[in-house]
Amino acid sequence: MNRDYYSSLADQSISGGRLDLETCRAILTSQEVELLPLLNAAFEVRTKFRGKEVMIHIINNAQNGYCPEDCHYCAQAKTSKADIEEYPMKPDEEIMAEAKNAYEKGAFRYCMVFAGRGPSDRRVAHLAKLIRDIKSKYPIEICVSTGLLDQAKADTLKAAGLDRLNHNLNTSERNYPNICTTHTYQDRLNTLKAAHTAGIGLCSGMILGMGEGVEDIIEVANTLRDLESPSIPINFLIPIEGNQLTKPKDQTLTPEFCLRVLCLFRFLNPKTELRVAAGREIHLRNMEVMALYPANSLFLDGYLNTKGANRARVLQMIKDAGFTIKSEQNLDELLEQETERATNQKAVVKSKEELRPYLQNSR
């Protein structure tokens, strides 16, 4: 494709136009659409609306496990045999201490995730109090992920000051019964609509690698555009042993394909906070940094039940690529703290087995 093709993608996106189906398909699958100019076009859209800032998110897994649902990708599902540390909701003091820590580490928004189908009225009242307490102490935005909500519950959380509700669509309507049987795509959509009506910002995205096709990805990107979701996390399936879904079903989940998906979401949702979310280290591998061209947001310190990249490496990656962070904290100061921590660590001496593996194997 010539330069005009890529410029027209950026121009159409910036002016609010919706890319047609054929163009979306070509972005995801056509080798005539080359990756570098595509990333450059997506970067033009990203910088137009989001500048060169990266928003850092830190997840607090405020309750782990004990979930009656059967989401095939989730280690907390009742059907998962994954060896995770289960615990009920953390005490308030622990959640407050973690909110403080997230604020001091430069997080722009603090995300609390609760396993379960959806919260009881009592849990909603408890959450509302916690949100008020955190906001009165730290100037940080708050997001919760708490399962299915009706209108009354969404209104209560909004009144407490909730900024965002995370509730991923995860996949298309067609593919949904293949990844969960205990609730439906429509249940998820209803929760998003209740939050939207209450005035809570949405955070909703998808997980790639769950048997979806190109059309499913395009459908989710367009649905989130229709919902005007201000935050869209794109996750890549993390293979957790014991889950129903232990490895990506879709063999096209290469680093290049993952980047093409991020570009597509950026073109269709030009103003959104697009997050390169869980599994980025595994699936983007050495091309991870390129994700910052379409995406403007990422997680620090890992995910719900799995570890992510080392914090210093992520901060350095942001700096080396010429980006900055959206935070009250300064990127250079955060990096300095990490370097200090690293230099205080003692060097680890190699074992005999590591120094002379041949001798071990030949015994």
Residues 77-96 that bind ligand SF4 (CB under 6 A): 77
Contact 86, 65 (CB under 8 A): yes
59 binds ligand SF4 (CB under 6 A): no
Of 76, 166, 172, 305, the one binding ligand SF4 (CB under 6 A) is 76
Determine if 69 is a binding residue for ligand SF4 (CB under 6 A).
yes
Closer residue to ligand SF4, CB minimum distance, 65 or 270: 65
Nearer to ligand SF4, 157 or 331 (CB): 157
- Minimum distance from residue 96 beta carbon to ligand SF4 (Å): 23
Residue 279 in the binding site for ligand SF4 (CB under 6 A): no
Q: Closer CB to ligand SF4, residue 117 or residue 341?
A: 117
Per CB under 6 A, 201 contacts ligand SF4: no
Cα–Cα nearest to 262, from 7, 45, 31: 45
Phi, psi of 304 (to 5 degrees): -65, -55
CB of 285 to ligand SF4, least distance (A): 25
Among 115, 206, 259, 331, binds ligand SF4 (CB under 6 A): 115
Terminus-to-terminus CA distance in the chain, angstroms?
A: 59
**Residue position matching structure tokens 């087995």:** 353
* HEC sequence for 32-97: CCCHHHHHHHHHHHHHHHHCCEEEEEEEEEEEECCCCCCCCCCCCCCCCCCCCCCECCCCHHHHHH
Which among 272, 290, 279, 260 has a CA at the least distance from the CA of 230?
A: 272
The verdict on 207 binding ligand SF4 (CB under 6 A) reads: no
- State the alpha helices, DSSP H only, in 249-330: 255-268, 280-284, 311-320
Using DSSP, state whether 137 is helix, strand or coil: helix
Taking contact as CB under 6 A, which single stretch among the options 40-48, 74-82, 192-200, 207-215 is the one that binds ligand SF4? Answer: 74-82
CB 49 within 8 A of CB 271: yes
Residue 76 or 235: the one with the smaller Cβ distance to ligand SF4 is: 76
Pick between residue 67 and residue 140 the one whose CB is nearest to ligand SF4: 67
144 near ligand SF4, judged by CB under 6 A:
no
Binding positions for ligand SF4, rule: CB under 6 A:
67, 69, 71, 74, 76-77, 115, 117, 147
